[in-house]
């Protein structure tokens, strides 16, 4: 460990909340290094208020030493011209109506619940579910469920896509969903909102901080609530439009310039011995 003054940024503590999802060696390494680094750091930076609370509770870092630097959204994520979007759809062979998820395909993201909720959706024959992201830990469970429910033609799994394609995916969808049970922040939610998508997310950990009152929050274990909420949104263009506009306005408040100011302020506190 660095012997001099330090500032440590902790993005999440998933290895403590969900230790079974790591190898024993990796779990031990993260626990020891993270805890030791956080305890001796002059300042610790979390990326959400939820993260700050966890750092204090799980690592024992005094609350006054933990700062929050909220992530920002790149201006690259924005509503795109319809002609560009339609051209992308044609190249990808995408259907007209899509429910979109963006993120790693792994159990923590709660995609099995989402797939079950989607399977009960009255509009399933005309609306596809797209799970965009690379394969993570135990991804096989997700694909096995898709097959078991006979949804191979209804659930799109394009895998990892380049960053420059993501705005096109957001702009091609009708609703964005993020059913994760644990996140350090949930940046894809803000990216989707910036692109003009209404969002539905879990009401857990940091996700309410990202969504605020400008998206819909649901229990991550209530598949019926997800089915009913998605069905209602898909049937109500006016509600989708209103929610999308509110989300777009909210996303504008999260900038990387603001993040940089918050990080610089934390480093200045670290250099000020009176604030250690």
**81-133, pLDDT tens digit by residue?**
999 999 999 999 999 999 999 999 998 899 999 999 999 999 999 999 999 99
**Cβ-contact 56, 62 below 8 angstroms:** yes
Q: What is the pLDDT of residue 28?
A: 84
pTM for this structure?
0.93
Q: Which DSSP string corresponds to 192-225?
A: HHHTT--EEEESSTTHHHHHGGGSEEE-TT-HHH
Phi/psi for 45 (5° steps) reads -105, 125
Residues 6+ apart with CB under 8 A from 86: none
Give the end-to-end CA distance of the chain in Å, rounded to a whole number: 19
Q: What is the pLDDT of residue 136?
A: 87
3-state helix, strand, coil in the chain (%, to 5): 50, 15, 35
Q: What is the pLDDT of residue 195?
A: 98
User: Virtual CA dihedral for 237, 242, 247, 252, nearest 10 degrees?
Assistant: 120
Token pair, residue 139, equals 């991804």
Q: CA 216 → CA 102, 189, 251, distances in Å? A: 17, 11, 15
Crossing angle for the helix pair 187-194 and 237-251, nearest 10 degrees?
110
Q: Where in the chain is the domain with CATH 3.40.50.2000?
A: 82-251
Q: What is the pLDDT along the chain (276 residues), one digit of tens a residue?
A: 567 789 999 999 988 888 877 777 878 888 889 989 998 999 999 999 999 999 999 999 999 999 999 999 999 999 999 999 999 999 999 999 999 999 999 988 999 999 999 999 999 999 999 999 999 888 999 999 999 999 999 999 999 999 999 999 999 999 999 999 999 999 999 999 999 999 999 999 999 999 999 999 999 999 999 999 999 999 999 999 999 999 999 999 999 999 999 999 999 999 986 555
Q: What is the pLDDT of residue 274?
A: 53
Class for the domain spanning 82-251: alpha beta
Q: What is the pLDDT of residue 275?
A: 57
Phi/psi for 30 (5° steps) reads -65, -40
Residues 6+ apart with CB under 8 A from 139: 105, 106
């Amino acid at each position: 460990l660095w012997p001099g003054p330090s500032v440590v940024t902790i993005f999440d503590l998933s290895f403590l909340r969900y230790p079974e999802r790591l190898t024993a060696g990796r779990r031990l390494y993260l626990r020891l290094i993270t805890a030791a680094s956080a305890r001796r750091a002059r300042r610790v930076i979390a990326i959400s208020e939820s993260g700050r609370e966890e750092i204090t509770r799980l690592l024992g870092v005094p609350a006054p030493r933990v700062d929050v630097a909220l992530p920002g959204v790149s201006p690259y994520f924005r509503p795109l011209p319809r002609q560009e979007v339609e051209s992308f759809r044609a190249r990808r062979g995408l259907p007209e109506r899509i429910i979109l998820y963006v993120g790693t395909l792994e159990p923590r993201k709660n995609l099995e619940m989402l797939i079950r909720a989607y399977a009960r959706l009255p509009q399933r024959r005309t609306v596809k579910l797209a799970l965009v992201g690379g394969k993570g830990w135990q991804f096989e469970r997700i694909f096995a469920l898709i097959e078991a429910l006979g949804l191979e033609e209804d659930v799109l799994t394009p895998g990892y896509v380049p960053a420059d394609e993501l705005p096109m995916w957001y702009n091609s969808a009708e609703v964005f969903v993020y059913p994760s049970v644990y996140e350090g922040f949930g940046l894809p939610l803000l990216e989707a909102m910036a692109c003009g998508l209404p969002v539905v997310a879990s009401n857990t950990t940091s996700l309410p901080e990202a969504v605020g009152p400008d998206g819909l929050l649901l229990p991550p274990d209530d598949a019926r609530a997800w089915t009913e909420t998605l069905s209602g949104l898909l049937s109500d263009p006016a509600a989708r439009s209103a929610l999308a506009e509110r989300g777009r306005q909210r996303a504008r408040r999260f900038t990387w310039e603001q993040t940089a100011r918050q990080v610089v302020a934390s480093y200045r506190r670290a250099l000020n011995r009176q604030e250690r």
